[in-house]
Amino acid sequence: MLPEPAQKTRVIINTDAKNEADDQYAIVHAILTPSFDLHGFISAHFGTRKSATSQSDSHEEILRLLDLMSLKGKVPVRGGSPKALPDEVTPVPSEGSELIVSEAMKEDPRPLYVAFLGPLTDMASALLEEPAIANRNVTVVWIGGADWPVGGPEYNLSNDIAAANVVFRSKVQLWQVPSPVYKKMAVSYAELYAKVYDKGAIGKYLVEQLVEWNRQNVPGPIEYRSLGDSPAIGILMYPDCGAYEWRPAPQFNREMNYVHTGASRPIRVYQSVDQRYIHEDFFAKLAGLVLAQP
């Protein structure tokens, strides 16, 4: 059932892995997806409100997940920018932006997909460093931005508004999964304990770190969490697993509202995704990983 290498989807995952507790699920899902030719992970910053070392925190978390899956050293991990862009014309070069440029400029007939589970800093830097990649066969998938058409505060956008403007203004192909869509990816504790917790060291860690994050950060009783980054994996596997519209790319003001100039190319904006398909695919692949282990 494994696809031939030439049929696999070329993928880079840019993740602020230690920001909350859902990136971890998307990371593991990407690793377990046989149709992905995974060119690597890029550790993203998530501002300074939670940590002064957010990019390196994300880097360590990716390595921790790989270690729990016995994949240490087998999947490339590159460091992204440690901070947001200072403005809309100045890149912050990193190993991460270098990886994006390198893969985008390769003579490979397959398109390259770069999924961003946090801010768009490293994509914006790559575009500013090498503008030619905007004309390559590259698609950016972004979990971020608030509800259309007004917008407003949204966490991933807030960590680098300038970078979002660079990417939205460019010619690169862009698929956006805004907050009203990714917030509907809820799973309950009961489901996680039934389908994830007993799936080896990685399953136990995924559930425990999620429950602990909720305990420390969410007031009041709670027994669920939205795995809000997982839609990026779902639409990379099956782009039509949700409803979307093509809309002219906006810009963002300081309040994170959409500014509809009508001057940029259309982007794909998802209005929904198939939660069942994405979650059940992850649960099945995780179970398969455990069955395959000696």
For the chain, helix (H) and strand (E) counts, in that order, are: 11, 12
Q: Is the pLDDT of residue 6 over 90?
A: no
Pairing state between β 9-15 and 36-43: parallel
Q: Average pLDDT, stretch 255-271?
A: 97
CATH superfamily of 9-185+229-272: Ribonucleoside hydrolase-like (3.90.245.10)
The contacts of residue 32 (CB under 8 Å, 6+ apart) are 282, 285, 286, 288, 289
Residue listed under structure tokens 């692949």: 285
Query: Which residue type is seen at 232?
Result: A
pLDDT for position 1:
65
Buried b (16+ CB within 10 A) or exposed e, 173-195: bbbbbbbebbeebebebeebeeb
Instruction: Read off the pLDDT of residues 86-101 as tens digits, 9 standing for 90 and up.
Output: 999 999 999 999 999 9
- Report how far residue 222's alpha carbon sits from residue 218's, in angstroms, rounded to the nearest whole number: 8
Q: Is the pLDDT of residue 3 over 90?
A: no
Query: Pick from 79, 47, 268, 5: which is nearest to 155 by CA?
Result: 47
Q: Where are the domains of the chain?
A: 9-185+229-272
Instruction: Read off the pLDDT of residues 78-87 as tens digits, 9 standing for 90 and up.
Output: 999 999 999 9
pLDDT for position 194:
98
pTM of full prediction above 0.95: yes
Instruction: Read off the pLDDT of residues 8-28 as tens digits, 9 standing for 90 and up.
Output: 999 999 999 999 999 999 999
